[in-house]
Homo-oligomer: A and B are copies of this chain.
Amino acid sequence: MSLLVTTFLDRARDQSPDREIVDYVDGTCVRHSTYREYDARVRRLAGALRELGVRPGDRVATLAGNHHRHLELYLAVPLAGAVLHTVNLRLEPAEIAYVVDHADDTLLFLDAALRPAAAPARAARPGMRVVALDGDPEPGELRYEDLVAGGDPVHDPPPRGDDDLAALCYTTGTTGAPKGVGYTHQALYLHTMAAGLADGHAISRRDRVVHLVAMFHANAWGVPFAALMAGADQILPGPSPRVADVATIIERERATYLGMVPTLAVDLVAHARRTGADLTSLRALVLGGSTPSRELIRAIEEDLGVPAFQGWGMTETSPMATFSRPDPDAPPAERYAQIQMQGRLLPGLQWRLVDEDGATVPHDGVSRGELLLRGPWVASSYYRGERPEAFVDGWLRTGDVATIDAEGRLRVVDRTKDLIKSGGEWISSLALEAALLEAPGVADVAVVAVPHERWQERPVAVVVADGALDPDAVLAALDGRVPRWWRPDRVEVVDALPRTSVGKVDKRGLRERLAGGVGGSHNATAADSSPVSPAPS
């Protein structure tokens, strides 16, 4: 019997009709609804999709923030038999066009505020229908609420099997073009079960979850499906909640579960200290996206009085792969050290640590190897077979260098590729180098990560000049080529790049030298007014 995510909708309707879906915008509640209404709207929307010609297996894109309509699409698209492609709204418009074209999306659901970002994709795909999620549709566009009002409710979805895709997401985690990760019904179903385990995120009927993690990102950690399955309330913070909004939502809604990147958690802790905000309704603050500091873990537990956990995973792992839950009897220092590790593998998955020759590395907490993963919710290929070298014998090569101790705790210690993780989001050093090489006066370049207190890592460009070189002009040349937040914190000019014995740029040496030097500055705004960037694992 197939394991289908659409059965979670039946379950929510039958078991939790009065549980809530609550929308906020800028810290103000704008809508209260129930799973009863959700169920009815999702079924009509799925009917409207069918009437628009969406066929089983078709890809339907969203370019949208965290709101109830996006949550409706999470179920309506699979209920129509189609595949939900959540587009990363922080990609450059040209990249959005690339992934929409690569996925061959037939329909796009679009937030009004994101129309400019969608323009190149629409130009490239004139046959793609566009549905305006909010505001008035522009000429040629459809209105979301018209679809919901007019659809013939779907009660018997088209037959789907375990291996049929329900969702699709592109990862920009490494170099090169974005790669598609397809999520089968079975993968999402089992991932949802794992999210409900008492040893994991433990999402249950007692929860009121806040979706701060972007809904475009790897199924928002899978929490929307888990909440539907369990009958938990769901609170959607709207397009760009500030940290004060997040605190307000937790306090007003007595939220119990919140997942977020460490960068934002630092802000939330600072905000709560300053304002005395009471966040103790939270039974779990789950950190993901990058390794939190022990001080952050301590502050969450001691200053906020909220239990801290860490989840780890990747777009390719749906995304939850491990969960760090400390031993109940561990003294505080040991407890924080445990939470800082990436934790234990979720049941259902398998892992290996291998050396450069593919030989198994012991689980002794010291020996390092590349982490390989496999299991029902781990990708064993990319959507159209991209980059096959990322997989070996059915195992995903994570690109992470890690240790595993004798009790099965993972610690990620390094990355095989030179990636920069800033505020929980990846910056590709190679893509940045390629863009910098186009700048005036740049003869050669290497981009490396330097530690940053707020963003964990920031890029620094080390360039060799071809004649005269104006660092500001170099940075200005990046506009429109890479996302603004990729812009290196500084440009350092050298006579020649250091190279290893085989002629490769010695990035490790560069990192070590730069890390010892200057703390980078960054155009960061004050914590209270900085838009939260719900960011990925």
Contact = CB atoms under 8 A, between A and B. Distances in A.
A394 B2 CA distance: 12
A219 interface: no
A344 interface: yes
A206 interface: yes
Interface in A158-206: 189-190, 192-194, 196-199, 202-206
6 A-B pairs with the lowest CB-CB distances in the bound complex, closest first: A15-B408, A198-B204, A198-B202, A196-B197, A198-B198, A199-B204
Nearest to A204: B198
Interface string A40-77: 00000000000000000000000000000000000000
Interface string A223-257: 00000011000000000000000000000000000
B196 A347 contact: yes
A340 to B, nearest CB: 18
Contact of A376 (B3, B205, B206, B325): B3
Nearest to A14: B408
Contacts of A397: none
28 contacts: A1-B374, A1-B375, A3-B190, A3-B348, A3-B376, A7-B350, A8-B347, A11-B347, A14-B408, A15-B345, A15-B408, A16-B407, A16-B408, A17-B406, A17-B407, A189-B348, A190-B193, A193-B193, A193-B347, A193-B348, A196-B198, A197-B204, A198-B198, A198-B204, A198-B230, A199-B204, A199-B205, A205-B325
Contacts of A198: 196-198, 202-204, 230
Nearest to A404: B14
A363 interface: yes
A492 interface: no
A10 interface: yes
Interface string A1-24: 101000110110011111000000
Interface string A360-393: 0001000000000011100010000000000000
Contact of A197 (B1, B8, B197, B376): B197
A237 to B, nearest CB: 24
Q: Interface size for chain A: under 10, 10 to 19, 20 to 34, or 35 or more residues?
A: 35 or more
B15 A344 contact: yes
Interface centre among A18, A325, A394, A407 (most CB of B within 10 A): A407
A230 B192 CA distance: 17
Interface of A: 1, 3, 7-8, 10-11, 14-18, 189-190, 192-194, 196-199, 202-206, 229-230, 325, 328, 344-345, 347-348, 350, 363, 374-376, 380, 394, 406-408
Contacts of A204: 197-199
A505 B192 CA distance: 39
B196 A199 contact: yes
A121 B348 CA distance: 38
Contact of A193 (B197, B380, B408): B197
A207 to B, nearest CB: 9
A172 B307 CA distance: 48
Nearest to A375: B1
Contacts of A408: 11, 14-16
A80 to B, nearest CB: 20
A328 B344 CA distance: 29
Interface centre among A1, A196, A348, A394 (most CB of B within 10 A): A1
Nearest to A344: B15
A375 B204 CA distance: 21
Nearest to A203: B198
A406 B34 CA distance: 14
Interface centre among A8, A11, A18, A199 (most CB of B within 10 A): A199
Nearest to A374: B1
Given A196-B198, A199-B196, A229-B347, A363 B14 contact: yes
Given A199-B204, A204-B198, A205-B199, A15 B350 contact: no
B206 A328 contact: yes
A406 to B, nearest CB: 7
A40 to B, nearest CB: 15
A286 to B, nearest CB: 14
Given A1-B376, A3-B376, A328-B206, A199 B230 contact: yes
